[in-house]
A = this chain, B = another copy of it.
């Protein structure tokens, strides 16, 4: 099957990357965070997109690795900013070493990401680097917006969608676009893949918000209601705030900043009840469906036989955990 072979090639490429040796304080954290693993979704999207246009995806391997190095650079710096103690069950870099080392190792990772992204055919170099740079700046903008929203009392739904678009979706879109560009696909097809990725990314993030409240605890692998407990301004919460009657609003506000372990269950239950009263689950599912359908519309518009699109289409459904 396509995906297994590509995964093997990607893992082999990632395992052969050399970031540098001395001083070890600079390079060891890079090897550490890259070894933590993760689903490698972004580089896989590069390869799957590339494979749509040409079965020979060798030339996409290093740029795909560049996307993964870039993604891990953002994780290393975001973890400092978010004061996160753990990443994939292991200590974050700033906890295992210190914040200065996490800053500087991250900086070098961004440089290494560029160096990998430069491993493309000369006539594609300018375009790839322009799009990569644009995307990289957008991801930073998304992180800044996310931090801003934590400090604000009111955030609108469009603002929230813009934030998750920048912080999460555009890198998925770029990954798919990159694969197409590297194989010399027509501009229109590359743009459709970009739009497909952006929309899938938004749908995926909204689904993440939804599963945090309504997900299967064992399947999801996170504490159910974690976003509620930490007063996170998710799509569900922002929608509830917009639609709540005065009494519901008062209930939501009264639970804010209450993070004690002992009342966790009661808080999640109280907020979930309001979500139920307001049909937040159904509304979120509708939104996810809208973005998912828009994504598929762009996939359909690509000028290739359906057979060539089957794997990516399948992956999209899989990411959404949908059968059809």
Contact = CB atoms under 8 A, between A and B. Distances in A.
A306 interface: no
Contacts of A80: 100, 103
Interface in A102-122: 103-104, 106-108, 110-112, 114-115, 118, 122
Contacts of A252: none
Given A114-B114, A125-B125, A129-B129, A137 B20 contact: yes
Interface string A140-183: 11011101100000000000000000000000000000000000
Given A81-B104, A118-B130, A110 B110 contact: yes
Given A103-B80, A108-B140, A126 B125 contact: yes
Interface stretch (A21-29, A35-43, A195-203, A280-288): A21-29
A259 interface: no
Nearest to A120: B126
12 contacts: A22-B141, A23-B141, A26-B141, A26-B144, A81-B103, A104-B143, A107-B107, A110-B111, A111-B140, A115-B130, A118-B126, A129-B129
Given A81-B103, A118-B130, A129-B129, 8 more contacts: A25-B147, A25-B148, A110-B110, A111-B133, A114-B114, A114-B133, A115-B133, A118-B129
Interface of A: 20, 22-23, 25-26, 77, 80-81, 99-101, 103-104, 106-108, 110-112, 114-115, 118, 122, 125-126, 129-130, 133, 136-137, 140-141, 143-145, 147-148
3 A-B pairs with the lowest CB-CB distances in the bound complex, closest first: A81-B100, A26-B144, A23-B144
